[in-house]
């Protein structure tokens, strides 16, 4: 068995703040590596997009991921906001692609369902479950938590694909959703 972990870089692109999170996956073991947030300075759009590209390239050089994961953007009610977010996401994806990384993409609903057990989870629920799943003591920045959630979803997705058809049938039947929901309910009860 190969003892080299799969290192996944998750990103949560944004024009003001781009979250990143890195995990190592070896079999069923997931280990936290690092996480943080790129705070993009105000200025002209092209300079801001270039900053995102440069900073993600630096993070890739420092962490050496083998795979990347990103959230698929949703359509905002404000078309201008959606367009700006799409440009920030494009700069991030171009940075990862220029470093030779494959990027797997997941919807926000898919990520929330994978981490919390429901696609309607709040940002706080995602943040708390990411901390719990990775046994982190410190509070994560929301953008970093979202990036780690994306990386964890990528890891879960790859495990499900490895299980093949049987795993897909079990997931479709709701068995995994039920166990995730039960874990979340136990966690909430333990906090009361």
Active site residues: 12, 71, 143
Asked if 20 and 144 touch (Cβ cutoff 8 Å), the reply is yes
Between strands 67-71 and 6-12, the pairing is: parallel
DSSP3 helix / strand / coil % (the chain, rounded to 5): 55, 20, 25
Asked if 130 and 152 touch (Cβ cutoff 8 Å), the reply is yes
Closest CA to 99 of 63, 54, 150, 60: 60
Asked if 167 and 112 touch (Cβ cutoff 8 Å), the reply is no
Three-class SS state of 9: strand
């Amino acid at each position: 068995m190969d003892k080299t972990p799969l290192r996944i870089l998750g990103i949560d692109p944004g024009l003001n703040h781009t979250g990143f999170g890195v995990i190592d996956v070896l079999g069923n073991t997931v280990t936290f590596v690092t996480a943080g947030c790129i705070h993009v300075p105000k200025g002209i759009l092209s300079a801001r997009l270039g900053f995102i590209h440069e900073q993600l390239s630096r993070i890739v050089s420092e962490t050496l991921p083998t795979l990347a994961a990103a959230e698929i953007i949703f359509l905002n009610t404000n078309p201008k906001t959606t367009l700006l977010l799409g440009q920030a996401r494009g700069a991030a994806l171009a940075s990862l692609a220029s470093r030779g990384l494959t990027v797997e993409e997941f919807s926000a609903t898919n990520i929330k369902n994978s981490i919390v057990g429901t696609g309607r989870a709040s940002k706080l629920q995602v943040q708390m479950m990411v901390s719990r799943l990775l046994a982190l003591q410190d509070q994560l920045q929301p953008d970093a938590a979202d990036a780690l959630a994306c990386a964890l979803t990528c890891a879960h997705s790859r495990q499900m694909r490895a299980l093949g058809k049987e795993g897909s049938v079990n997931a479709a039947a709701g068995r995994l959703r039920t166990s995730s929901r039960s874990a979340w309910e136990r966690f909430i009860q333990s906090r009361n």
